[in-house]
Amino acid sequence: MHNNVLNYLNEIVKVKPDKLAYSDGTNRLTFRETYDAARAIGTYLAKEGIRKKPVVIYMNKSPMEIAAFFGSVYAGCYYVPIDEEMPAERIRLILDNVNSPVIICDEENKGRAEELRKDGQQILLYNEIIKTEHDSELLKSIADTTIDTDPVYIVFTSGSTGVPKGVVACHRSVIDYIEQLSEVLGFNENTVFGNQSPLYFDACLKEVYPTLKFGATDYLIPKKLFSFPVKLMEFLNEYKINTICWVASALSIVSAFKTFREVVPEYLHTIAFGSEVFPIKQFNTWRATLPNAVFFNLYGPTECTGMSCYYRVDREFTDTDVIPIGRPFDNTEILLLDDDGKIAGAGEDGEICIRGTAVTLGYYNDKERTDAVFVQNPLNPFYPELIYKTGDIGKYNDRGELVYVSRKDYQVKHMGHRIELGEIEANVNTFPNVKLSACIYDRENSNIILYYVGDIPEAELEGELKNKVPRYMLPRKAIKLDEMPFTGNGKLDRVTLKKMYFGEI
């Protein structure tokens, strides 16, 4: 039985050493090259005595970044990917939280890494440390003392207090997820992935690890292509990409621009979408274009490693229908719980709670916020058993399929990114000349709108916020108010704000 995600790499390198593993169209690594780079990095870290520590990876999205992930794991550490476009303030919060002894970076990010590093934190250059001679005995001794509940990575997700939360996942969760996902989606050695997700999200696991498991190939599609749908489709055709797992908004851009009139993906046969609702009109355009392809709707939180539920599209949907999220992967169970912690009645709404090996270890260095959502299964008072409360409301439809209904709180899915509106507000509220702020989400047009009361012009506030939150969290518009509306019991009245925004009052 596998107890380490690197077993996939150790095995495939013997079988298909010279096959292309990861490519971004410019940089390419075969399985042998991936293995060699990762083992060198692992040896370097181990010789420095870095073990069971978070290792920050600050690199541009590339095959080399993936090799650096595996290198950290060979050293018995766990990787913490940093987004190269993240604002400095957010990176500082992450570095404070994980307190890592090292940052591995490439030439492009070296300058910024040096600016942001904490006292005593070493900066290691990828191109230097991959020259380290492998010490197989040392790496074996590390593997021998690594168990499957040791962490593999920490990825950060939005936190409503303004401080991001680091979800830490172990080998066993990743292996369970990869095995189940691969079986359902039918990955194999002929799979050619076209990855869309950034590598600092759990979403990239869908391609990164099955590539090792099967000896498949994973093309990291340059981000820029997602603005230019014809070029994007040409990229898929050029590399004979047959499998994609994209956020629905990336798929929608392609179909909404009528790209298929000019170019059709010729090799695509498996299309998974998720992380947000796929507008049916766009979904149907894809289906009509690729009638022989299989489509999957995936659902799951970062806190449960990746995806927890799937629905394989098996019928037609009209504009008013909702595509279900279906059923959980094997070895995962969904509990739909009411406010009293009991199973919701048939057809009733309940909070989607998840149980299984894929439930991650919690938030790193953050017991309080971990304990709030990783809780004892209320249906089991007899022995310790943690479930994860997603904060998503779901229900079962007439066919017994799980359907996503809404959020319990102010978390939104915006262009595939999970955002706590509270995180934006918390950052805006730190500005000395802002008194109050509140965000609303215009789902129809995918716009975040920020309302605030304060002594700062709208454009200036927008400019300052850019230094605080990632680009995808920036409100489309900041609107200054003289007074904020409040409800009868003194809470910020977001319903009134929404009505104001849509011109209803």
Partner 1 sequence: MEELLNILKNIRSDVDFEKEESLIDGNVLDSFDIVTIVNGMEETFGIEIKASDIIPENFNTVKAMTELVEKYRNA
Smallest distance, Å, CB 471 to partner 1?
7
Among 119, 120, 137, 224, binds partner 1 (CB under 8 A): 224
The whole-angstrom separation of Cα 206 and Cα 218 is 10
Residue 392: exposure state from Cβ atoms within 10 A (0-12, 13-18, ≥19): buried
Question: What six digits make up the tokens of 277?
Answer: 């609702």
In Å, how far from its chain's centre is CA 68? 18
Least CB distance from residue 320 to partner 1, whole Å? 23
Considering only 236, 250, 473, 492, the residue that binds partner 1 (CB under 8 A) is 250
If one asks whether residue 462 binds partner 1 (CB under 8 A), the answer comes out as yes
Measured between alpha carbons, how far is 166 from 485 in angstroms, rounded to an integer? 34
The letter for the amino acid at 270 is T
Binder to partner 1 among 124, 220, 253, 353 (CB under 8 A)?
253
Whether the CB-CB separation of 64 and 70 falls below 8 Å is answered with no
For residues 250 and 323, which CB has a smaller minimum distance to partner 1 in the complex? 250
- With respect to partner 1, which residue has the nearer C-beta, 374 or 472? 472
Site membership for partner 1, residue 479 (CB under 8 A): no
Rounded least distance, CB 127 to partner 1, Å: 23
Radius of gyration of the chain (CA): 23
Residues 333 and 319: their CA atoms lie apart, in Å, by 30
Cβ contact 55:102 at 8 Å = yes
Among 51, 92, 258, 342, binds partner 1 (CB under 8 A): 258
Stretch of residues binding partner 1 (CB under 8 A), selected from 25-33, 72-80, 462-470, 488-496: 462-470
Helix (H) or strand (E) holding 480: strand 477-480
> By C-beta, is 223 or 408 nearer to partner 1?
223
Residue 116 sits in the site that holds partner 1 (CB under 8 A): no
Binding status of residue 446 toward partner 1 by CB under 8 A: yes
- Amino acid in the structure at residue 358: A
Structure tokens at 70: 């595996």
Q: Catalogue the long-range contacts made by 95-101 (C-beta closer than 8 Å, 24 or more residues apart).
A: 95/56, 95/121, 97/163, 97/164, 97/166, 97/364, 97/365, 97/366, 98/54, 98/56, 98/154, 98/166, 98/364, 98/365, 99/54, 99/365, 100/53, 100/54, 100/55, 100/56, 101/50, 101/53
Q: Decide if 407 contacts 391 (C-beta within 8 A).
A: yes
Q: Number of C-alpha atoms within 13 angstroms, CB side, residue 182?
A: 22
Taking the complex as a whole, the smallest distance from the CB of residue 449 to partner 1 amounts, in Å, to 13
- In the complex with partner 1, the residue whose CB is nearer, 309 or 450, is 450
Q: Judged by CB under 8 A, which of 51, 435, 443, 466 binds partner 1?
A: 466
* Per CB under 8 A, 406 contacts partner 1: no
Q: Which helix (H) or strand (E) holds 89?
A: helix 88-98
Binding mask 146-185 for partner 1 (x = CB under 8 A): ----------------------------------------
Cβ distance 438 to 370 under 8 Å?
no
Q: Is 443 in the site for partner 1 (CB under 8 A)?
A: no
Which of 123, 125, 138, 256 is in the footprint of partner 1 by CB under 8 A?
256
**What is the closest distance, in whole angstroms, from the C-beta atom of residue 407 to partner 1 in the complex?**
21
Contact call for residue 471 and partner 1 (CB under 8 A): yes
> Does 229 engage in binding with partner 1 (CB under 8 A)?
yes
Judged by CB under 8 A, the stretch of 35-43, 206-214, 258-266, 484-492 that binds partner 1 is 258-266
- Site residues for partner 1 per CB under 8 A: 85, 223-224, 226-231, 249-250, 253, 256-259, 261-263, 415, 446, 458-459, 462-463, 466, 471-472, 476-477
